[in-house]
Structure 1
Amino acid sequence: MSLRIVVAGATGWVGRALITAIAAAPDLELAAAVSRARAGEDAGTVAGGAPLGVALVGSLEEALTVPSDVVIDYTAPDAVAAHVHAALAAGRHVVVGTSGLGSADYGAIDAAARAAGRGVVAAGNFSITATLLKRFALEAARWVDDVEVIDYASPRKPDTPSGTARELAEALSEVRRPATSLPPETLAGLPATRGATIAEPTPIQVHSLRLPSFVLSCEAIFGAPDERLVIRHDAGSSPTPYVAGTLLAARRVVERVGLTRGLDPLLVG
């Protein structure tokens, strides 16, 4: 039996590519697709392909009236938390590709998912190579004391830092050793120029650049006496890198209960 998928944000950059990939996958079925701006149009046509016989609807609530198994959300930072809770309340598993959620949001989502007996996979970046950036950086953090994170994106990206950078910094803070640099709050001048501090349990400084010519890049910079290591991921202008990881998460999330942060736990084995 095919896994029935709802795509929220179906006319977005990644959403359109997901519609095409789901239509081509023998084990997946597009149950519903959400887009307020294009409601009533055929999802396949909007994605640039053949009609699929699935009309876009204007809200997730409407999409949840159709039988489905997994909701994939690629919408907006101000909508994603409500979407996740609505999907869980309706008995769906959820894959979250939208960035902008914080640790408090994730705690509430984990609790709601466990109460519902459903799984949620949320990743700042579903790219396989971005996942490897995180894996390699966590290994380096066990050996090098000082690390900071820089993320780069287009000037129109609405959230800062990016989900990729936030997730990386939060993971690094759990394994890193104390830094040798002075804490930002002890500095004179403009301490804010040292970036934002993600501080649980061990502080990590994160710096966000928003400039034309960037799609999404993220780097972890490690410094030791007389040497330096930079681990960096750069994304191009195509959504292709995110589609395979998102659909991997959709296939695996039905086996889980509670929140899974990042794609890397799904790559084990």
Structure 2
Amino acid sequence: MAQTEQKKIRVVVAGVSGWVGRELVQAIAASDDLVLTGAVARGVAGQDAGTLAGLPTPLGVPVHISAQEALAAGADVLVDYTKPQAVRAHVAAALEVGVAVVIGTSGLTAEDYFEIDSMARGRSLGVAAAGNFSVTAMLLKRFSLMAAQYVGDIEIIDYAGPQKPDVPSGTARELAEALENAREHPPTAKPVADILGPKEARGAQIGTVPVHSVRLPSYVLACETHFGLPGERLTIRHDAGTSAAPYVAGTLLAVRKVRKFIGLRRGLDGILDA
């Protein structure tokens, strides 16, 4: 027997008009344990979230300009797929009214996450964040962390289309920060301060892991971790498809888990352990 509306997890989606946001609305509408109670997207405010997502019938959930308006209808979890400059305000608005948060937006820094963790702990609520909510992207991270125990020379290449505004991608940034902490041997590459020529040619340094962002037409999203030892190399790569379905599945797993812990958890692997 399906759960009643009162027992379902009430979800607000910020960024409802986006690539992932539209498919999230469809998946929530089709689920037995979730219900969409609010939606946020400035450019399409006033439209019905179901109609916007391509559902055959409206959901009766209007799209609002602000998170505060969308949360007023009642919510248990806010999901954010917007822009990095909007995330902090959305998190603060949700935590202020006792709502947990799932962040799929990329482009946030370690300092951003530190502030979000502090806000969540101050309210005794959970925040789940991942640079990439796909299961295979989680495996890229897990296998790369295993390799980092044995190889100290590591570089990351992150690929996306030309209009992606944030560099590096959330996947690459999260991966680099994790590898910096997991690496057990120092790199042998010449320090950036000692190289000749433009230092930017060595990529951005996330900790001490070089990250190179390629932005060209025909790419969706991809991320490679490169490991080097004398006489041998290892490359671990993740490629995203053209559908948002992998991100939707991981995001909904996080929605179902985020109220079980306090503070910030990053990465799908850490969230699944809740």
Q: Which runs of 4+ in 1 moved over 2 A?
A: 266-269
Cα distance in 1 for residues equivalent to 2:233 and 2:43: 48
Counterparts of 1:181-260 in structure 2, within 5 Å, are 181-199=189-207, 203-260=208-265
TM-score normalised by structure 2 residue count: 0.95
Cα offset for 1:268? 4.2
Structure 1 gaps of 5+ residues are: none
Amino acid at match of 1:233: H
Asked if the contact 1:75/1:98 (under 8 Å) is kept, the reply is yes
**Match 1:19 to one of 21, 25, 31:** 25
Cα distance in 1 for residues equivalent to 2:198 and 2:63: 49
Asked if the contact 1:126/1:245 (under 8 Å) is kept, the reply is yes
Matched, 1:178 2:183: no
Cα distance in 2 for residues equivalent to 1:35 and 1:208: 28
**CA RMSD, 1 decimal:** 1.0
Cα distance in 1 for residues equivalent to 2:44 and 2:109: 30
Cα distance in 2 for residues equivalent to 1:105 and 1:35: 22
Aligned to 2:35, the other structure's residue is in SS state strand
Q: How many residues align?
A: 266
- Residue 121 of structure 1 corresponds to 128
Cα offset for 1:15? 0.1
Cα distance in 1 for residues equivalent to 2:188 and 2:72: 55
Structure 2 gaps of 5+ residues are: 1-6
Matched, 1:72 2:79: yes
Asked if the contact 1:150/1:206 (under 8 Å) is kept, the reply is yes
Amino acid at match of 2:193: E
Amino acid at match of 1:143: Y
**Match 1:161 to one of 168, 184, 192:** 168
TM-score normalised by structure 1 residue count: 0.97
- Residue 3 of structure 2 corresponds to none
Amino acid at match of 1:24: A
- Residue 47 of structure 1 corresponds to 53
Asked if the contact 1:7/1:71 (under 8 Å) is kept, the reply is yes
**Match 1:33 to one of 19, 39, 43:** 39
Cα distance in 2 for residues equivalent to 1:250 and 1:207: 31
Cα offset for 1:92? 0.7
Asked if the contact 2:221/2:239 (under 8 Å) is kept, the reply is yes
Counterparts of 1:75-154 in structure 2, within 5 Å, are 75-154=82-161
- Percent of aligned positions with the same letter in both sequences? 59
Amino acid at match of 1:193: A
Write the deviation string for residues 40-67 of structure 1: whole angstroms up to 9, x where unpaired.
Answer: 2111111001211111111111112111
Cα offset for 1:266? 2.9
Cα distance in 1 for residues equivalent to 2:51 and 2:247: 21
